[in-house]
Amino acid sequence: MDGLVGFGTTLLTMLRDIFPIAAILFGFQALVLRRKIKNPARVAMGMVLVLLGLTLFLEGLEMALFPIGRLMAQQLTAPEFIYGSADGVLGAIYWADFLWIYAFAAAIGFATTVAEPALMAVAIKANQVSGGTITVRGLRYAVAFGVAIGVAVGAFRIVTGTPLHWFIISGYVVVIIQTIFAPKLIIPLAYDSGGVTTSTVTVPLVAALGLGLAETIPGRSAILDGFGLIAFASLFPIIAVMGYAQIGEFRAKRLKRQSEKK
Amino acid sequence: MHPADNPLVSHPHKKARLAALLHKVRKAAEPLTESALALVPIVLVVAFFQLLVLQQPIPQLGKMLWGLLQVLLGLALFVRGLQMALFPIGEEMAYNFVRKGSLWWLLIFAFALGFGTTVAEPALIAISEEAARIAAAGQVIASTQEAQNSYAIGLRLTVALAVGIALVMGVFRILKGWPVQYLIIGGYLGVVIMTFFAPPEIIGIAYDSGGVTTSTVTVPLVAALGIGLAHTIHGRDPLIDGFGLIAFASLTPMIFVMAFGILY
């Protein structure tokens, strides 16, 4: 019974979120373009599936993943876990006391990004448009790898307290250098993948980690330093996707050179 | 007994039908297996950290499995719905706008889509309320509820405006065929310059606001719109020109929010 009520509320919230989008689409279609949509029944059915799918997805996350994810973020950032081990397993160096947190940040960043529906949509589209050269899974794993590194570096930044903008500006410099050398076809997709990584699954867990970390470390403000992890998670995938394409190109060139030698 | 009905004799026609049926089943199960694969890392990460690092049992295992099943089914349904509704509608509208030949209506549509989908975005509402609280704590604004509300709404409208303008710029770029990197790198420069002038409390929020604006329903729609435009307009490559709209939508909010922080 509880589950049913939860499902109903989530469905209503989803309806409210989708309503403005649907209103804009159908408003322009009917009033400006004045054309009938092809296959209206199929489109309507698809919309229902999107709505139902997202509702189930969010409900399931709220039930299965978010509580335990938040709890784990709290426990891993709790002072008892970091300093409390009497047997001194953890090193004495300041930032290195948090190795498990960096590992957790990277792992949770990777895992949530792979399951991110918006990223899946873009990967499916990129696969279609590229005629199969870009694989759905390859792109998703490359982006997820970028988010993993990004969130881990973001956690390191909260621990050390270095100003956010120095990291982000250095990231921009790397992106600009890569843009000069990366294959031209991948650039727009790489830029886009920065924006799609952080939505329904990633943000709640990553934010919980950031807040927990900022609360534990003396001298960090939960509000000021808790923010910023998402910025890392949207910057590093750009670098990772361009890097992925660069490695692919490099290997193709080397293979070609080797076959020419023979 | 007719030879075709004899179950013991394998019949080529029947075999083909069976193969076709199997193919259909496999096709229908594809999103499900894909979603299942997408969830494997999460399960592994949770199990590893909970059982080995924190050394605690997993609470309410049954409830968790039931929730995972819902996530799995939901993801599969979403992907199916994408291909039935969001992708075709985005591409069809792009095609219709190009056929209509009205640049202004296309740009107005792009703005409406960006502004309309962002202004009601729950993640943005949450983040702008948080930002108002920070501003009040830092005595940037008065700590009354009224001042906080007006600050939060101002911030929300700023971000929505930024996303609307981003889509207008992005669509215009596709029409003109400009390379995306010059505009984006120009935007980065804007972000860096603004960072030095913006009040420090707003920087973290500004940087994050770029990431939260693009929701799960908007992203596929906007991607399909861009690709549809690039497909329809002569001389545009869908891969080079079609992508890039989302990149604009995550860049402009950073600049606009910092400008808001300076002006407010």
Longest dimension (CA), chain A: 74
Answer yes or no: is pLDDT of A183 > 80: yes
Could you read off the pLDDT of B155-164 as tens digits, one per residue?
A: 999 999 999 9
Task: Tell me whether B77 touches chain A (CB under 8 Å).
Answer: yes
The residue among B74, B249, B219, B208 whose CA lies nearest residue A196 is B219
For residues A83 and A97, give the distance between their C-alpha atoms in angstroms, rounded to a whole number: 8
For residues A82 and A105, give the distance between their C-alpha atoms in angstroms, rounded to a whole number: 15
Q: With CB atoms and an 8 Å threshold, state whether A203 touches B212.
A: yes
Q: With CB atoms and an 8 Å threshold, state whether B81 touches A58.
A: no
Helices (H), chain B: 12-47, 61-81, 87-100, 103-119, 122-137, 145-176, 180-197, 200-212, 218-232, 245-263
Structure tokens of B101?
């030949």
Of the pLDDT bands very low, low, confident and very high (cuts 50, 70, 90), residue B12 is low
The mean pLDDT of A79-91, rounded to a whole number, is 54
Structure tokens of A262?
């023979």
Radius of gyration in angstroms for the set of CA atoms belonging to chain A, rounded to a whole number = 22
Q: With CB atoms and an 8 Å threshold, state whether B137 touches A223.
A: yes
Residues of chain A with Cβ-Cβ distance to B56 below 8 Å are: 75
For residues A188 and A192, give the distance between their C-alpha atoms in angstroms, rounded to a whole number: 6
Task: Tell me whether B155 touches chain A (CB under 8 Å).
Answer: no
Structure tokens of B166?
């981003």
The mean pLDDT of B34-42, rounded to a whole number, is 87
For residues A121 and B44, give the distance between their C-alpha atoms in angstroms, rounded to a whole number: 24
Answer yes or no: is pLDDT of A248 > 60: yes
- pTM for the whole structure: 0.85
Higher local confidence (pLDDT), B166 or A96: B166
For residues B193 and B14, give the distance between their C-alpha atoms in angstroms, rounded to a whole number: 70
Could you read off the pLDDT of B51-97 as tens digits, one per residue?
A: 888 888 877 888 888 989 999 999 999 999 999 998 999 888 888 88
Whether B82 and B45 have beta carbons less than 8 Å apart is answered as no
For residues A3 and A105, give the distance between their C-alpha atoms in angstroms, rounded to a whole number: 30
How many CA atoms, within 13 angstroms, populate the side-chain half-sphere of residue B89? Answer: 29
Answer yes or no: is pLDDT of A216 > 80: no
Q: With CB atoms and an 8 Å threshold, state whether B203 touches A20.
A: no
For residues B74 and B51, give the distance between their C-alpha atoms in angstroms, rounded to a whole number: 27
Higher local confidence (pLDDT), A2 or B182: B182
Task: Identify the pLDDT of residue A90.
Answer: 43
Residues of chain B with Cβ-Cβ distance to A61 below 8 Å are: 67, 71
Q: With CB atoms and an 8 Å threshold, state whether B74 touches A192.
A: no
For residues B262 and B256, give the distance between their C-alpha atoms in angstroms, rounded to a whole number: 10
Answer yes or no: is pLDDT of B226 > 50: yes
Task: Identify the pLDDT of residue A45.
Answer: 92
Residues of chain A with Cβ-Cβ distance to B72 below 8 Å are: 60
Task: Identify the pLDDT of residue A9.
Answer: 84
Whether B138 and B150 have beta carbons less than 8 Å apart is answered as no
What mean pLDDT is reported for chain A?
Answer: 83
Q: With CB atoms and an 8 Å threshold, state whether B64 touches A18.
A: no
Answer yes or no: is pLDDT of B9 > 70: no
Could you read off the pLDDT of A36-51 as tens digits, one per residue?
A: 778 888 988 999 999 9
Percent of chain A's residues with pLDDT above 90: 26
Question: How far out from the chain centre does Cα B104 lie?
Answer: 25
Long-range pairs, B147-152, Cβ under 8 A, ≥24: B151/B264, B152/B125, B152/B128
Domain boundaries, chain B: 1-59, 82-263
Long-range pairs, A90-97, Cβ under 8 A, ≥24: A94/A159, A95/A156, A95/A159, A95/A160
Task: Identify the pLDDT of residue A34.
Answer: 82
Task: Tell me whether A30 touches chain B (CB under 8 Å).
Answer: no
Answer yes or no: is pLDDT of A86 > 50: no
How many CA atoms, within 13 angstroms, populate the side-chain half-sphere of residue A23? Answer: 11
Percent of chain B's residues with pLDDT above 70: 94
DSSP-assigned states of every residue in B23-65: HHHHHHHHHHHHHHHHHHHHHHHHHIIIIIIS--PPTTHHHHH
The residue among B190, B221, B191, B209 whose CA lies nearest residue B250 is B209
Task: Identify the pLDDT of residue A2.
Answer: 63
DSSP-assigned states of every residue in B154-169: HHHHHHHHHHHHHHHH
Answer yes or no: is pLDDT of A93 > 70: no
Radius of gyration in angstroms for the set of CA atoms belonging to chain B, rounded to a whole number = 25
Task: Identify the pLDDT of residue A31.
Answer: 84
Q: How many CB atoms within 10 Å of residue B14?
A: 13
The ipTM estimated for the assembled molecules is 0.84
Task: Identify the pLDDT of residue A88.
Answer: 41
Answer yes or no: is pLDDT of A206 > 50: yes
Task: Identify the pLDDT of residue A91.
Answer: 40
Of the pLDDT bands very low, low, confident and very high (cuts 50, 70, 90), residue A177 is very high
What mean pLDDT is reported for chain B?
Answer: 85
Residue with tokens 């996707």: A241
Of the pLDDT bands very low, low, confident and very high (cuts 50, 70, 90), residue A10 is confident
For residues A111 and A141, give the distance between their C-alpha atoms in angstroms, rounded to a whole number: 10
Could you read off the pLDDT of B164-188 as tens digits, one per residue?
A: 999 999 999 999 989 998 999 999 8
